[in-house]
Chain A
Amino acid sequence: MSKSPRPSPRDLLGEALAGLAQRPARSVLTMLGTVLGTGAFVAILGLTATAAGQIDQRFTALAATEVTVEDIGGADPADTAASFPADAAARIAGLNGVRHAGVYWPVSPSAPRFAATPGAPANQEELAFVAAEPSALAAARPTLRAGRLYDRFHADRGDNVAVLGAAAADRLGITRLDGHPAVFVNDTPYTVLGIIDDVQRMPDLLLSVIIPTGTALRAYQPPHEQRAKMLIETRLGAAALVASQAALALRPDAPERFKVTAPPDPQSLRADVTSDLNSLFLLLAGISLVIGAVGIANTSLVAVLERTNEIGLRRCLGARPVHIATQFLTESTALGLLGGLVGGSVAVAAVVGTAVLRDWTAVLAPWTVAAAPAIGAGVGLVAGVYPALRAAWIEPAAALRR
């Protein structure tokens, strides 16, 4: 007789679920807090991951391999000398990890007039006039619509050649190169070697008439009002290194004359975006989880008091306190679990819906989705402890009182 019987766990689970199913409306309302809490949790993590993924997409290899060096001049504002040495491109090209590097600057003759024929009226006032080293053009990663780019040869000789951006060519009315057209800048002809259809960097080149730096230096003033810049294309991952070395490599005597812009570190960028919002909303999610827990605890306690008779009856039928506690604990845990499932599902739908509306790619870490029911169940379990203990403490004789 000393052996105590053991009800099967499946039967105890059945009893607990039957307890929940008895009052579906109340169960649903009790779940609400947990639904909101876990839903908020998953939605926040999902949305921030999605947004961060979006940033990652924009943060392409293109941006990660671009370094720009600006000539900011010396401390003395009257010092208008160009900071870039004549062999700037060669100096930078010697650095490890550099693919293309070239200087460019806006050429500023007084009131440039552009025309496709000599003596034509000035009607293209919006075009820019840019001097760029061939390697600067290469670093901009152009695709050509027609012809070719000028090269070192043209630059060294100072030939009067030009490359047109697609928009500039359209405005000038130059569409074909088989007649060797020229563009006239203040009536100085430049033979058009090529038309750039598109660039991946420096999109303002598309609206520009571009000539070699050698040509520009021969015909015009060196840059001083608008100072020269250098565009460097690095190998993937070398940008930070190149950026740290560029100024010294250009002018070991005066590295402070340059401002080097390196791409931001993608990891810190992502962290910046996510961390601020994340912590705030996760706090809110935490608060709603606590509210959910209080709701479950409250309802369970009321249910225990209401079901005193039932508990006494079960004790009379041979239930031990642990069976009673298990039943109520299972009920509250199941409530929390259900709440977590519903909340997680709603949140996944919300994240996917947002992504679809915004044309984003939904990014959801599987563990965040899987965590929702687990968190819900945990909340239910914790919330159910006190009511379950109260239930277990009820004396079986209570059932006999009417």
Chain B
Amino acid sequence: MTPVISFTGVGLTYPGPPPVRALRDASVTVQPGEYVTVVGPSGSGKSTFLNVAGLLDRPTEGVYELDGVDVSRLRERQRAALRGQRIGFVFQSFHLLQYRTTTENVALARLYAGVPRRQRAMTAVEALDRVGLAHRRDALPLVLSGGERQRVAIARALAQRPSLLLCDEPTGNLDSATAENLLELLDNLCADGLTLVVITHDPQVAARGQRTLTIRDGVLHE
């Protein structure tokens, strides 16, 4: 089976002065349906790993294959397209557009893929159903609780029909009860076959994964 993520000697050095080797010689594979968590103290290179894995930054060395495609050689517009179609992002601070209803926010996911409006709205409604927010279709993010907002964000990521859900501290802004709810949702999504990479500094969150990668000073360990 083609791994979703395959890092072979991937490294990223930010040009100086002085040059910063934020990620060194990382080699890791994530198989479809896996639930992988990445932990490490702040400044360890978690964000860099996320940026590289999410096609937001180009590695300066090594080969990164996403779904078997070597993405380090792709042109920027193709990387943008892949980002929109293969990777669903979930952020700590949700990043919802506060003047748009939840449905509009979720529908935004397919906008740049050129999906017609009506179809996007249908996909959005389905995704909201899937995260248990069918009753919040027309709500503005402002009236939602933190947990609900993060669910909308997850619905938006799901609407992209991604091969990979990339979560950056998804529970960072949530209280523990809400966080537990959200982690259950992630568990369920994984059970449905979605590939999950969750970046966190919380050991409890990290424990939910089938595998945990530790990153320290830019070096990745199993």
Taking beta carbons and an 8 Å cutoff, which residues of A are in contact with B? 1-2, 4-8, 10-11, 14-15, 18, 21-22, 309-310, 312-321, 323, 395-397, 399-400, 402
Contact = CB atoms under 8 A, between A and B. Distances in A.
B56 A8 contact: no
B95 interface: yes
Contacts of B97: 310
Given A397-B57, A400-B50, A319 B95 contact: no
Interface of B: 47, 50-51, 54, 56-57, 69, 76-78, 80-85, 87, 89, 91-93, 95, 97, 99-100, 108-109, 111-114, 116-117, 156, 160, 168
A400 B56 contact: yes
Given A318-B84, A400-B56, A11 B111 contact: yes
15 contacts: A1-B81, A5-B81, A5-B113, A7-B111, A7-B113, A8-B114, A8-B116, A309-B95, A310-B95, A316-B84, A317-B160, A318-B80, A319-B111, A395-B56, A402-B92
**Among all A-B residue pairs, the 8 with the closest Cβ atoms:** A318-B84, A318-B112, A22-B99, A5-B114, A397-B56, A313-B95, A4-B81, A5-B113
A318 B81 contact: yes
Nearest to B50: A400
B51 A318 contact: no
A320 B111 contact: no
A319 to B, nearest CB: 5
B89 A316 contact: yes
A246 B65 CA distance: 98
Contacts of B51: 397, 400
Contacts of A317: 83-84, 89, 108-109, 111-112, 156, 160
Given A7-B111, A8-B114, A11-B111, A399 B95 contact: yes
Contacts of B85: 5, 318
Contacts of B168: 400
A263 to B, nearest CB: 65
A11 B57 CA distance: 27
A6 B95 contact: no
A399 B92 CA distance: 10
Contacts of A309: 93, 95
Nearest to B93: A402
B56 A1 contact: no
Contact of A320 (B57, B76, B93): B76
Given A1-B82, A318-B81, A320-B76, A7 B114 contact: yes
Nearest to B98: A22
Contacts of B56: 315-316, 395-397, 400
Nearest to B156: A317
Given A315-B80, A318-B85, A397-B57, A323 B47 contact: no
Contacts of A6: 114
Most buried by A among B76, B108, B112, B117: B112
Given A399-B91, A400-B50, A320 B80 contact: yes
B117 to A, nearest CB: 6
Contacts of A22: 99
Contacts of A2: 78
A1 B113 CA distance: 12
A400 B114 contact: no
B110 to A, nearest CB: 8
A317 B95 CA distance: 12
A130 B156 CA distance: 98
Contacts of A402: 91-93
A22 B87 CA distance: 28
B69 to A, nearest CB: 6
B109 to A, nearest CB: 6
Nearest to A323: B112
A4 B81 CA distance: 6
A14 B47 CA distance: 33
Contacts of B117: 8, 10-11, 14
Contacts of A397: 47, 51, 56-57
Of B76, B100, B113, chain A has the most CB atoms within 10 Å of the CB of: B113
Contact of B112 (A5, A10, A395): A5
A321 B93 CA distance: 23
A350 B99 CA distance: 37
A4 B111 CA distance: 13
Contacts of B99: 18, 21-22
A4 B80 contact: yes
Nearest to A310: B97
